[in-house]
Amino acid sequence: MKALMFGWEFPPHILGGLGTASYGLTKGMWECGNMDITFVIPKPWGDEDRSFAHIIGASQVPVAWRDVNHDYVDSRIGRLMSPDLYYRLRDHIYADFNYMRTNDIGCIEFSGRYPDNLLEEINNYSIVAGVIARTINFDIIHSHDWLTYPAGIHAKQVTGKPLVVHVHATDYDRSRGNVNPTVFNIERDGFLHADHIITVSNLTRATVIDKYGIDPAKVTTVHNAVVPLSPELLNVEVNKPKEKIVTFLGRITMQKGPEYFVEAAAKVLKNNHNVRFVMAGSGDMMDKMIELAARRGIADRFHFPGFQKGKQVYEMLKASDVYIMPSVSEPFGISPLEAMQMGVPSIISKQSGCAEILNNVIKTDYWDIDAMADAIHAIISYPSMYNQLREDGLKEVAGITWDKAGAKVIDIYNRVLG
Amino acid sequence: MKAISFNFEIHQPMRLKRYRFFDIGNDHYYYDDFLNDDIITSLAHRSYIPAAETLLRMLSDKEHPFKCSIAISGIALEQLEQYVPEMIDLLRRMADTGRVEFLAQPYAYSLASLTDPEEFALQVKQQSDRITALFGVTPKVMRNTEFIYSDDIAPQIYAMGFKGVLTEGAKHILGWKSPDYIYSSATAPKLKILMRNPKLSDDICFKFSDTTWPEYPLTADKYIDWIAATPQDEQIINICLNLDTFGGLQPATSGIFQFLEALPHFARERGIEFWTPSEAVAKIKPVDQLVVMHPISDADEARDTSAWLGNQLQNEAFNKLYSIAERVRLCDDRRLKQDWTYLQAADHLYYMSTKHLADGAVHSLFSPYETPFQAFTNYMNVLSDFIVRVEEQYPLSIDNEELNALLTTIRNQAREIEDLNREVESMRKNIEHYNEEHKLPEPPKNAKTTNGTSKKKTTGKASPKKVNK
């Protein structure tokens, strides 16, 4: 079966969980066999893993005809796309896009990030999708998150092939209810045009059904999974401080519930002094949190090391005794699974999608700071609690693999294709 | 001759309230009274009381003789006395028929038999005394918590004076053997072992109202037929059920009460009798010795102790609890002793099980907690506070042995002082008699009331010699 996927991020150049999930799922589907996947991203860097999918960069797809010879194309984009594919794509330009800002080989430039002119970039992406859809052969279209829904819809209208949209998050999660009307409309448009909708949790599924008014029959949950960590990351060396470490890792924004973590920390510190708290990350609520920690008089035990990337994340986890994710609304939340992979017991809010599939974690309501403080205390004070969660957590997370998720998606494809 | 021995268990733990770690050291009340009241009251009205009334009718029916045995934990008795005293009356009336036997078990429904023989013996005695005081009969056969039994426990049970013990007919112990015989213990050959018939018991307990079961509906006629169809020399069928099977697990609407009440009729038709466990122990000879190296129980697929001690959480809680057992036994504080009893109930450990699949479903069915981790956290917080209180009783710097010696000295001295006081008292009386007889003048009497005790004592000690002479 041939699938055409539209995504926005792809490892190793990622900005959030979307890239990790798209990558894992694609690879998982490929592992199930008999899948030929073309994955479109706005801007490839050339160091992506192409072993399991054909990657097409929207920045290399011509939308305006330019008379360029083979050697020139090869020297310009050969690293990212074969000139033959470039010519095939050039043969399928369907309208005159010379009025747009195109470069010397007739392509539109993409940032591949979340720039201020994001809506324009989304629109351009959908123009490019029209060319791709006319060129290559596929059975089904799969769009990852709202940024690529217009592209998916376009491809569907051009070819009549069924569209599956994958909801990694909705604007309801990001804004805690105060949605951006433009984003909401793009999302809803995608849902209405889709032949099937895949959500990353039942929580998100409920949002799609209730808030966007979508027929429940065409919404299915496929939970995310994790890619096993490399031995290099598993064995990172860190100097562990003598106190117990409780870690929060993520954007310090309203959605992630950082204030509940500070309040719980204050409760724990009232009775237990052998512990330090770390809130790693950055975000618009960071200053407020620093102030709150100071107001609670726990600043000497509450640390803000800032944004962590790459290996630093795993070093941070390695040094931790407890991982906490008190998200107010989390479509899935892959980070507790990574903490479990590193053998760190996790506390997550019941309002997180991953709470639906995890057993060997502590689940509390995000607002229940008493329960959260209690759980932190239990893990750092009772060794058997720590060991039980750690060992069973490792076992559990090892079983949450992408090929299972991939098989479910292929199942949905088969259903959609009848 | 074939006989059925019915055994009904009544147990409800004292469930703990939500106890946060910042309550440690501040709040010493651990129980969710509302929940406990609610559960035992509603269960009593749905199940215990109608079941007891049914049994009472069956016991008083002279035409179709019926007998059974009842095991009830001390914690359940306390809750019944407090919340549903009418149930105690019903049990007493059942006892008055003389056809019901009460079995012994640890008062706290604890796992003490697995780790602490002294505690085990104390609790069994406490339970037997309570049963004797309430119902006027003394238990003669043992049914340990959750039918737990092993070669290590057998001699302890025998040493307490029991002639028989009721345990689970665990497949991995019996192998090809049948549970419908009496066996003897390998380590205490005079102790007879009665074995619960798991199939026939579970047919009532779990399958009675299961419409997907091929044998559905189960009638008393059919059930007794099955029992009659067992081989001729299998003499004793032990059917052991929780009393709340009737009206609880199997709702009244399923016809479970009528099923129960109809059993004696069909049993008499086929010449099957009802015996109590003591009768069975007295009448039947053991066919073989049974070796049970590792403890068995009636819980989960494994029929071992993994339902309570299957993971690290449970083991830590269990070990921590019994690490202070000796200390607690040295204390006199009544509230402390009571908490000690309530905290030992096996249920608290049962809630911490991390087993999944079929067993896990049964565990969570009975648990007041959402997850085993919550169960563990809550219990450990309570236990931490309890341990602090125990440690406050006597300084930790003195070890148990030394403390025991000191306490013994103190108690001996207290007794001595008491004896001496009594002696002083009697002497004083002697003097009064003496004075009255000899009609001594007033002054000494005044001296008695106004002067200090030292003078009295000197006179007291001096006078007996005179009196004796």
Ordered by start, the domain boundaries in chain B are 2-290, 310-393, 401-468
Alpha helix ranges (H) inside B12-102: 33-43, 49-60, 74-83, 85-96
One fold for both A2-225+402-417 and A231-398? yes
- Rounded average pLDDT over A67-91: 91
Nearest to A97 by CA among A72, A74, A123: A123
Give yes or no for residue A105 having a pLDDT over 60. Answer: yes
- Residue A91: half-sphere exposure toward Cβ, Cα within 13 Å: 7
Are the Cβ atoms of B354 and A382 closer than 8 angstroms? no
Distance from CA of B193 to the nearest CA of A (A): 36
Asked if pLDDT for residue B451 goes beyond 80, the answer is no
Q: Do A363 and B311 touch (CB under 8 A)?
A: no
Q: Return all residues near B400 (Cβ < 8 A) that are at least 6 apart.
A: B326, B327, B330
**Residue in chain B lying closest to A345 (CA):** B373
Contact between chains at A387 and B381 (C-beta distance less than 8 A): no
Mean pLDDT (chain B) is 89
pTM for this structure?
A: 0.81
Q: pLDDT at residue A348 above 90?
A: yes
Domain ranges of chain A: 2-225+402-417, 231-398
Pick from A375, A378, A388: CB nearest B311: A388
At A5-27, the pLDDT tens digits run: 999 988 888 777 788 899 999 99
Which of the two residues, B34 and B464, has the higher pLDDT score?
A: B34
Determine contact: A385 vs chain B, CB below 8 A: yes
Q: Which residue in chain B is spatially nearest to A362 when comparing CA positions? A: B373
B354 closest CB neighbour out of A267, A272, A392 = A392
Q: How many CB atoms lie within 10 A of CB A150?
A: 23
| A387 interfaces chain B, CB cutoff of 8 Å | yes
Q: How far apart are the first and last CA of chain A?
A: 13
Shortest Cα distance, chain B CAs vs residue A227, angstroms: 25
* Whether the Cβ atoms of residue B377 and residue B352 lie closer than 8 Å to each other: no
- The answer for residues whose C-beta is within 8 angstroms of residue A354's C-beta and 6 or more apart is A201, A223, A224, A330, A332, A333, A334, A336, A337, A348
Q: Structurally, what CATH architecture does the domain formed by B2-290 represent?
A: Alpha-Beta Barrel (3.20)
* Minimum CA–CA partner of A375 in chain B: B377
Q: What was the pLDDT predicted at B460?
A: 46
| CATH architecture, range A231-398 | 3-Layer(aba) Sandwich (3.40)
pLDDT score, position B440: 61
Of A271, A383, A384, the CB nearest to B21: A271
For residue A339, is pLDDT > 50?
yes
Fold entry, domain A2-225+402-417: Rossmann fold (3.40.50)
Which amino acid appears at position A9 of this protein? E
Q: What is the mean pLDDT of residues A146-161?
A: 95
Please, which residues 249-278 of chain A have a Cβ atom closer than 8 Å to chain B?
267, 270-272
Inform me whether the C-beta atom of residue A370 falls under 8 Å from chain B C-beta atoms. yes
- The residues of B assigned a catalytic role are 146
Task: Quote the pLDDT of residue A64.
Answer: 92
- Indicate the residue of B312, B356, B377 with minimum beta-carbon distance to A387: B312
